Each structure stands twice: as structure tokens, then as C-alpha cells.
Chains A and B, each alone.
Chain A
């Protein structure tokens, strides 16, 4: 027993712990400032100024908002199932955070410890079913919605939860179809392999523009963002599955949405836009000149920039397009995107076969 413990690479565990903590806290901070960015982008698009009172340029606004949510009275409905009522937002947050585990945020860091050269990959877990893992975790997000809506013991919450769940499930289909086409090209489910192919070659979006487009639309629906934010249509459908929630539990639901937005942007960047690859620069050449650590920093920055652009697109769309009606939403998903995804898949399959011949 002792021998097994001694033989373990404790440094490995410490490294991973530090990586997990930093990535989770990073995604929390980014989600926090996404709320600020959302309000600023909304303001700019509507010719306003947005929050600019709390701190310089209103940068402390998210802190003030968070404080407000914590200070509010917390109401748990009398007839609700209390355990599940609390579990709902927890699950929403958990699934939102878990997805970041397989996303590569940079190449690797190099340092010397006790005379030993150590290379730390900036990806928490490089599992061989990376994309499958993402899909599994994302579909678990439905539980957060369903449990929250059901535990509230309110028929409107339950209806909204059904609405949300059926939306998320039906948009997972075209999302999967668009990814199948991508996987036929890359031949691997491993995130690092898909990334590595784009590092030297072209970005996948050039081969799969339609696939990317379908994935983008589905990502909007998965994150419950406008034009697909029917689960929380506050003005015409009497709010959503979080109708009975107050205080920070409501905050967690809303926060999970922002984390989801960040993570799905990161997934899109990794799968279709070359991830941490620095565009127009040969990364393998650059790494010889500036070393691993500076390279990792640079790559992380580039990745972050790309993700930021996608987050901006999310917001830009939100403040442009009005909400779909529910039948329009379902029609678009089942009759628009799924046939499109199938066509894309068949064409890709044919081309891949033809090229191999």
C-alpha cells in the first residue's frame, strides 16, 4: 500500500489540481465580466453608455450585482421539494464548469523541479473521447433545468422546464450531426488531435463552413441565448424554470448560462477556429525562438481573444434578433437544421471517401 502511494507521481496530482483550480476560477471570473460586457455591448448597440458608475468604467458593476444577489431574501417555496430545489442550480453550475476539462488552453509549460524537467500540458484531461465527454456533460445540463422547474412545485415553472428541456434536447441532434461530419474529417474524438491538425494546416471552418454554422446556431440554443431564450422568456411567457428562485440561487442559474456561453465559445474555437493556434504564424518555429512558457502565454492570449470574439457574437445576436415563437423554434430545429446537418454529413462522407480512393 505504502509503496503504491510512494510510486505515485504526486507532482502530477498537484499540477492537475492547480490547473483545475485556475481554470475553474478563470471561467468564473470571465463569466462575471461577461455580465458586464453584455450590458456594455447592449448599451453600445442601443447608442447608450452602459454601466459606468461603479469603479473606473463601471468595472466593479459585476461585484455590486453579485453582492445584491447575495443580500436578497432567499425564498424556498413551502410546498417545494427542498433537496431538489437546491440541487437544481447546483447541477446547472456543475455541468457548466465540467465541460472546460477537455479544452486545450495552450500547448504546455516547462519548468525544472528538483533537477527534473517537467512539462505540464495546459489541458486538464486529454481523454480519447473528448467530444463525447462534452456532449455527455452538456446533455446533463438538462437536469438542472428539469429539476429546478419540477422542484418548484409550480405549473408554470414545470411548463417552462419542459420547454427548455425539449429545446435543448432537440438542438443537440443537429449539433451532433454537424460534429459527425467534422469527426469524419479529423478521424479522432480527441480534442488535442483535432487541435493539432489545425495547428499546421487550415482551420476546420474552411472545410466545414456549413457544419460550423449549424454548430453555432445549436450553441445558441444550448446556451438558452436569444433568439432561442424561450426557457426564460420573462416578458411574454411568465419567466422560466427559475420563476420560483430568488437570491443567489437565481444568480447561479443565470451565472451558469454565462459560463456555458464561455465554454461553448471555447469549444467552437477549438473545434473550428484552430483553438490556441496563432494565425499566420508557424507555431513550431516560434516555440524554438521564445521557449515553451512564453509560447503558452501567447497561445493562451490568442485563445482568449478568439473566445472573446465569439462571446461578442453571442451578445451581438442577442441584441439584434427578437425571440422565436416556440413552433418556429421547433420547426427550425427539426425541419431546418437536421436536414441541413444530414446533407452536410453525406456530402462530407462522399468527399472523404473520394479523396481516400
Chain B
């Protein structure tokens, strides 16, 4: 019969001999293979202690950025909410009062800024839309909670740690992604 490909192989169907029926040789071969695996490098990493390096374009949870003096960048312009395809972002703007200059960079700021992490698809369009360098996708991920409402992240969850009082946490939260675009 004409075979369909050149790789076709004739299958042997002759009954096993008595020695073959004891399976010894094949079992020995299999045991050797598993024995070799004992000395192989493990593919698993111990997750919470050890973390895999992310690719430079990794998109994790959002952070709200501050400038070098620790003032919030966000002006509640709403461009991110408009850009968001999943409609995960809601915000309310407010006017900066005299004496709050050290808190907010510009005259308007976001009094309320919420991202629903269950709706968010981590596309990064909010980051692209933001004219004030205020919202970034960080390298943190895997949010967990017992209730659905816990996944609606408010400002206290999203805001980056203060760069002057808490520089280490700030650097960690900022991640590589924000650094990269700031350098440009």
C-alpha cells in the first residue's frame, strides 16, 4: 500500500517471546531514565521566596505615581478612564486648597481614584493615555482577597510609597517599567 508520508513505519505485531514477557530489559531501561532524572536541575522555583524575572514589558497591577518631592501626579483628567476598554477606572476630581501644595503637584487632584481589579484586563492603555506620568503598570501581580469588594483598589492601595520618607519601597513599587519611560 502506498503510504501517505515518508515517515510511515511498519508496526511489528509478532507476539512477545517469553523473555520479553518478563519485561525485564524494558523495565531496566525505564529505571535508568528515571534514575538520571534524580540528578537533573529542577524546573520549579520556590515561589514566594524566589521570583522569576519578568520581561521588561510585563504589565502588573497599577500604581499611582508621585514626583521626586512626593507629590501626586494625577490631575483627575479622566483620560485613563476614557481609554480603559474594560471600564475599570472611576475617579472624582477636587481642587487643591492653599497649603496642600506639598501633597498635589497641580491645582486639581483625584479625591477618589478606583480601579476594579476584577474588571481590569491589564492592557496598559491607561498608562499610554496618561499625560501626567501618573499611572503605571507595576510588576506586582496576583492580587488575592476573600471578597469581591476587596478587589476594588482605592487610592490607598494604588498610591506609590513616598519617595523621600520611604525611598526603598518607592523604588521597588516603581519597577523597571516606570523607570524606563522616565528615562526617555
Q: Provided the pairs A320-B27, A331-B21, A336-B22 are in contact, do residues A47 and B34 lie with their beta carbons within 8 angstroms? A: no
CB A21 to nearest CB in B, in angstroms, measures 36
Q: Are A48 and B44 in contact (CB under 8 A)?
A: yes
Which A residues are in CB contact (< 8 Å) with B37?
Answer: 44-47
Cβ of B40 under 8 Å from chain A: yes
| Chain B residues closer than 8 Å to A321, beta-carbon distance | 27, 30
B interface size (C-beta, 8 A) = 18
Residues of chain A from 295 to 325 with CB closer than 8 A to chain B in the complex: 316-317, 319-321
Q: Are A332 and B22 in contact (CB under 8 A)?
A: yes
Complex interface bits, A49-83 against B, C-beta within 8 A gives 1, otherwise 0: 10010000000000000000000000000000000
Q: Are A319 and B42 in contact (CB under 8 A)?
A: no
A residues in contact with B30, CB < 8 Å: 320-321
| Complex interface: chain A residues within 8 A of B42 (CB) | 47-49
Please tell me which one of the listed residues B21, B31, B41, B43 contacts residue A316 in the complex, with CB atoms under 8 A apart. B31
- A49→B37 CA distance, assembly (Å): 12
Chain A's closest residue to B32 (CB) is A320
Mask, A140-168, CB within 8 Å of B = 1, is 00000000000000000000000000000
Shortest distance from the beta carbon of A319 to any chain B beta carbon, whole Å: 6
Decide if B34 touches A320 in the complex (CB within 8 Å): yes
A-B contact count (CB 8 A): 41
A316 in contact with B44 (CB, 8 Å): no
Q: Can you list, as one digit per residue, whether each of B8-42 has a CB less than 8 Å from chain A (1) or not (0)?
A: 00000000001001110001001101110110111
Using known A-B contacts A45-B34, A320-B34, determine if residue A332 contacts B44 with beta carbons closer than 8 Å.
Answer: no
- Cα of A46 to Cα of B21 in the assembled complex, Å: 27
Would B40 and A47 count as touching, CB distance under 8 A? yes
Contact of B34 among A316, A332, A335, A340 (CB under 8 A): A316
Contact B38 A45 (CB under 8 A): yes
List residues of chain B with CB within 8 A of the CB of A336. Answer: 18, 21-22
Please give, as numbers and ranges, the residues of chain B lying within 8 Å of A332 by CB-CB distance.
21-23
Partner of A52, one of B22, B41, B46: B46
Contacts of A340 in B (CB 8 A): 22
A44 in contact with B21 (CB, 8 Å): no
Determine the distance from Cα of A320 to Cα of B27 in the docked complex, in whole angstroms.
8
User: For residue B23, which residues in chain A have a CB less than 8 angstroms away from its CB?
Assistant: 332
* Contact A317 B31, beta carbon cutoff 8 Å: yes
Which chain B residues (57-111) contact chain A, with CB distance < 8 Å?
Answer: none
Which residue of A has the minimal Cβ distance to B33?
Answer: A320
Q: How far is the CB of B18 from chain A (nearest CB, A)?
A: 8
**Could you say which residues of chain B place their CB within 8 Å of the CB of A316?**
31, 34-35
Q: Beta-carbon contacts of A326-356 to B below 8 Å, as 1s and 0s?
A: 0000011001100010000000000000000
Contact B46 A49 (CB under 8 A): yes
- Of A47, A317, A320, A335, the most chain B CB neighbours within 10 A belong to A320
Q: Which of B21, B34, B44 contacts A49 (CB 8 A)?
A: B44
**Closest partner residue, chain B, to A336 (CB atom):** B22
Nearest-neighbor residue (CB-CB) of B38 within chain A: A44
A336, B18: Cα distance in complex, Å: 8
With both chains docked as a complex, state the minimum distance between the C-beta of A46 and any C-beta of chain B, in angstroms: 7
Q: A320 CA to B31 CA in the complex, in Å?
A: 6
Which B residues lie within 8 Å of A317 (CB)? 27, 31
**B165-178 interface code vs A (CB 8 A; 1 in, 0 out):** 00000000000000
CA distance A238 to B134 in the complex (A): 58
Tell me, in angstroms, the Cα distance from A46 to B37 when the chains sit together.
7
The 5 closest A-B pairs by CB, nearest first: A320-B34, A320-B30, A45-B34, A49-B44, A320-B31
Contact sample, A vs B, 18 pairs, CB 8 Å cutoff: A44-B37, A47-B43, A47-B44, A48-B42, A48-B43, A48-B44, A52-B46, A316-B31, A316-B35, A317-B27, A319-B34, A320-B31, A320-B34, A332-B21, A332-B23, A335-B21, A336-B18, A336-B22
- 6 further A-B contacts with Cβ under 8 Å, apart from A320-B30, A321-B30, are A45-B37, A46-B37, A316-B34, A317-B31, A320-B34, A335-B21
